[in-house]
Structure formats: structure tokens, C-alpha cells
Amino acid sequence: MPYIKVSDLEDVKQLSKNLRKKDLDEIKANSNTNPYHALYTGVKFSHLPLTVMNDDRVVMIMGVIPQGKNLGMIWLLSSPEIKNISIAFLRNCKGVLDLYHKSFPVLYNYIDARNTVHLNWLKWLGFNFIKEHEKFGYEKRKFIEFVKCATQ
């Protein structure tokens, strides 16, 4: 049964060894860092980093890195096991998004244009795609900037 908890470094260690290929590709394209460093940095600098567990396995870690008083950079990295909990994930992700919006009325980030599953998920969540960056990050690949403002 999946559940959510506050992230810790053991979660980072476990997930860094079992990320989805698309997430690994995006980390490399964006910053060319290793998975552990990407997750460690995300958890360290995030406001309320959260881990989704399924039994004793880390399925995903997410968070929002403050970029100012009302602006946060939202992120999420997952294991292939997300497919096993997709219905529970989809039922609960809007509630988690609402939780993050209470602290950060504006959430944004950049996504690798090759990650079509995540692009469709962001669209479903109500994010707007505001700009295409043709040569973004370490690999100078196409990334898409997205944003969502909290509803009042």
C-alpha cells in the first residue's frame, strides 16, 4: 500500500539506484550530475520534500525549492515502480500540489521535451507551458518551461 512521508537521506540513497530511464536522461541533459547528487540537492534545498513509498521501497521523491517569497521550483523523480501505483498516485497528486501551493502560489520548472509522459501529466495537473528553450542545460537539448499559479 503506497504512503507519503517526509524525505530523508536513506530515501535519496535508495531511489538514486533505481530511477526511471527518462528521469536519468533528464538529469544528464540538464546538469550532467549523478542521480544521488540530483536527489540530495533537491531534498536538501526543498521546502517539505516528500517521498512516496510502496511497502519498503521508495517510488518517488518530490519537493519545491524556494526561489523567492511566492515562487517555487517544483520537481519530482521516480523509479519504474510508479507504474505499479499509478492510480493511487494520480488520485493524490492534486492534493500534494495544493499543499505546495499554500507555501508557493507560483510553481514552475523546466522539463526535457522528450519526457512525453511527464508532459502529459503536467498538462493534466493544469500547468501551462510558457516557453520552449531549444538549447537548455548541459546537453543543450530542448526543454519546456512550465508554470502553475494557485487558484484563489
**Whole-number pLDDT of residue 66:** 97
Per-residue pLDDT of the chain (152 residues; tens, 9 = 90+): 889 999 999 999 999 999 999 999 999 999 999 999 999 999 999 999 999 999 999 999 999 999 988 999 999 999 999 888 887 878 888 889 999 999 999 999 999 999 988 898 899 999 999 999 999 999 999 999 999 999 75
**Whole-number pLDDT of residue 151:** 76
What pTM, to 2 d.p., does this model score? 0.92
Distance CA 40, CA 87 (A): 27
* CB-based burial label for 49 (10 Å; 0-12, 13-18, 19+): buried
**Whole-number pLDDT of residue 92:** 82
